[in-house]
Amino acid sequence: MEDPHPNSIVLRGIFFIKAYFVYVVLGLIVVRGLYRRYASPLRHIPGPFIASCTRGWKFWHVYRGHVETNFIELHRKFGPVVRSAPNEVSFASTAAAKDIFTSGKGFRKSDFYWVFPPPENPDIFTEVREWKHAQMKRFAVVPYSLSSMQKLTPSIEETERLLLQKIDRFTASPQAECDLGDWLHWFAFDVLGEVAFSCSFGFLEKGMDVEGAIKLIDDMQWYDGLIGQVPWLHYILRLNPLKPYVPFMGVSKPSLITRLAREELRKREQEGADLEVNQQDLMGQLLKAHAGSPDKFSKADVFSVAHGAIFAGSDSTASTMQSFFHLLLSHPSVYTRVVAEINEAQNAGKLSPMVQYQEAQDLPYFQACLKEAMRIRPAVGLNIERVTPPQGTEIGGANYPGGTTCAVNGWVLHRDKARFGQDADVYRPERWLEDNAKDMERYLFQFGGGSHLCIGRNLALLEINKLLPQLLREYHFKLVHPDRPLQYHSTFFVVQSGLKVFVERRSDPKA
C-alpha cells in the first residue's frame, strides 16, 4: 500500500517498527541491558556479563534449583565481591555480611520478600516495611522466647514419642528401608502444629504428606523464590485480577495448614479468652499480646504470625536435621565418636528418658556436629537480600550507593577460609572444639542476622537438641546408599530427599 504521508517521520517510524517489530524489541532489550551494565555505579564490580545486564541470569539459576552451589562457584571465579544482577552485589566475606546485618544501619529487606504470601497481611518474614516488621516482632519476641517454647516441651515430647513408635516398626527387619528424611520432615511439621495451634497435622500419624500439604508448600516456595527475582511478574501471575477467569491459573483452595490455622483462630474467638488449655501455645500467647494492644497488633497479625511460623519453621528445621544425619552417617568415624559421647553421658546418668535441651548442651561433640552441619549445609539455599539506605553505605571497606541490593548466601559465607580455616570446604566437626570456636560461632549465619535474625531459632534448637541425641541413643542407623549424596533443590529453603536408612534398635545403649 502506498504511504499517504510520505514525508511524515512519525509515520515512517511506525511503519519501520511494524515491519521490523521483533528486531526493534530485541534491539531495545539489548540497549537497556547495556545501559544497565555501563551506566550503573556498580560497573567496576566483576561478575558475569549477562548478570550485569538482566535479572534473567539469576532467574535462570534459581529455576535450576542450585543457587547455593552456583554462588559458591561464582565467587571462586570472580572474587569476594560479585555483581550478580544489574543492581545487586553478592558478598562472600563474613565481615561484609556483618556490616549488612548490623541493626540500625538503615538496610531494608528487598522486594524479593514481598512476593511471599499472604500479600494482604504479611507476617514477620514477608513484611518489607521495617517499622511494621519491628512492631510485629516486638509482640512476638516473648511468645517465641526459649522459656515460652520450653513450656511446650510436653507436646514436643508427645510428638517425639510418636516418631519413635513409627521408627520402631522399621527395626523389625534388617532389610526394611526407612526414609528417615521423610519422617524428620513430618516430625518438624507436626511439632509446629502443636507449638503454633495445639493441634497435630497428622503427618506422623498417617505416615504421609496428608493432602499433599508439604508438596504444596514446596511448590509455593518454588514460585516465591523464582518470581521474587523479578517481583513485578507477581502482578501478572498471583496478583492478577483476571486470575480466577484463566483456567490454568484458577484460585486454589486453602491448604490443610491454612484451614487448620483459620479454624483454630475461629474456635478461640468463639470460646473467649479464658480458654485455659491453649494459653501456652504460640497462637494463645499472640492472642494475649493482641488483647493488650489491639490497635498495634491486630487479629490479622495474630493469624499471619502463627500461620507464618509453619512456613518458615518446618522445611528449615527438617532440612537441618536431614543434613546432620546424612553428614554423620557418611562419616563413620564421626558417627562412632558422637555415639560414644552419648553412651558415656547415658552411663553417667546424665540423660533423661526423653533427652532434655540442657542435657544436649553438655554433649560437646554432638554440638560440634550440629554446628558443622549448619555451617556446611545451611537450611536456606537462596540469597538473603537487603537494600542499602538511600544515602549509601560502607560494606567491607568500600562504598555502595543507596538502593543497591546486597546479597549474601550462607553456603558461600560459611566457606570463608579467613574465618573457618583453610579446610572450610570440608566437613570436620572437630573445628568447633578448637581455640577459635567462639570467634567462628559469631560468623555462623544459618539463622540470618541483625534485626531479621530468625525468631524461631529457639524452637528449632529446642526440638533438634532433644530429638537428635534421643534417636542416636535409641537406634543404630546405616545409610541404604552410602555413596549417594542427598538430592535437593533450593526454593528458599534447601528441600532434601533420599535419606534412606536401615535402622536397628540399640538394645544396650551402653555398648
Q: Can you say which residues are annotated as belonging to the binding site for heme?
A: 454
Contact 329, 231 (CB under 8 A): no
Instruction: Residue 184: name the closest of 211, 164, 168 by CA.
Output: 164
The cell for 432 is 568447633
3-class secondary-structure state, position 50: helix
Cα radius of gyration (the chain): 25
Q: Which stretch binds ligand HEM (CB under 6 A): 33-41, 56-64, 263-271, 456-464?
A: 456-464
DSSP 422: T
In the bound complex, what is the minimum distance in angstroms from residue 363's beta carbon to ligand HEM? Answer: 18
| Site string (317-346) toward ligand HEM, x via CB under 6 A | x--x--------------------------
Decide whether 156 or 380 has the Cβ nearer to ligand HEM: 380
DSSP 245: G
Q: Which stretch binds ligand HEM (CB under 6 A): 76-84, 114-122, 293-301, 457-465?
A: 457-465
* Cis-peptide into 118, omega within 30 deg: yes
Type of residue found at 197: F
Q: Which of 234, 326, 452, 466 binds ligand HEM (CB under 6 A)?
A: 452
Decide whether 137 or 489 has the Cβ nearer to ligand HEM: 137
Note whether 379 binds ligand HEM by CB under 6 A. Answer: yes
Q: Which residues within the stretch 114-133 sit at the binding site for ligand HEM (CB under 6 A)?
A: 124-125
Decide whether 125 or 222 has the Cβ nearer to ligand HEM: 125
Note whether 137 binds ligand HEM by CB under 6 A. Answer: yes
Decide whether 187 or 502 has the Cβ nearer to ligand HEM: 187
Q: Which residues within the stretch 254-313 sit at the binding site for ligand HEM (CB under 6 A)?
A: 308-309, 312-313
Q: Which residues within the stretch 347-376 sit at the binding site for ligand HEM (CB under 6 A)?
A: none
Q: Which stretch binds ligand HEM (CB under 6 A): 2-10, 29-37, 263-271, 316-324?
A: 316-324
Q: Which stretch binds ligand HEM (CB under 6 A): 1-9, 358-366, 395-403, 455-463?
A: 455-463
Q: Which of 100, 454, 486, 495 binds ligand HEM (CB under 6 A)?
A: 454
| Cα–Cα distance, 25 to 243 (Å, whole number) | 27
Q: At what angle do helices 364-376 and 299-329 cross, to 10 degrees?
A: 110
Decide whether 148 or 356 has the Cβ nearer to ligand HEM: 148
In the bound complex, what is the minimum distance in angstroms from residue 259's beta carbon to ligand HEM? Answer: 19
Q: What are phi and psi of 211, to 5 degrees?
A: 55, 20
For residue 233, the surrounding DSSP H or E stretch is helix 233-236
In the bound complex, what is the minimum distance in angstroms from residue 194's beta carbon to ligand HEM? Answer: 11
Note whether 486 binds ligand HEM by CB under 6 A. Answer: no
Residue nearest to ligand HEM (CB): 456
Report the binding-site residues: 454
Q: What is the DSSP string of 86-152?
A: TTEEEE--HHHHHHHH-TTS--EE-GGGGGSSPTTS--TTT---HHHHHHHHHHHHTTTSHHHHHTT
Place of cell 537438641: 465
Contact 453, 447 (CB under 8 A): yes
Contact 160, 354 (CB under 8 A): yes
- How many residues belong to the site for ligand HEM (CB under 6 A)? 23
Type of residue found at 305: V
The cell for 451 is 534485626
Q: List residues near ligand HEM by CB under 6 A.
A: 124-125, 137, 308-309, 312-313, 316-317, 320, 379-380, 384, 446-448, 452, 454-457, 459-460
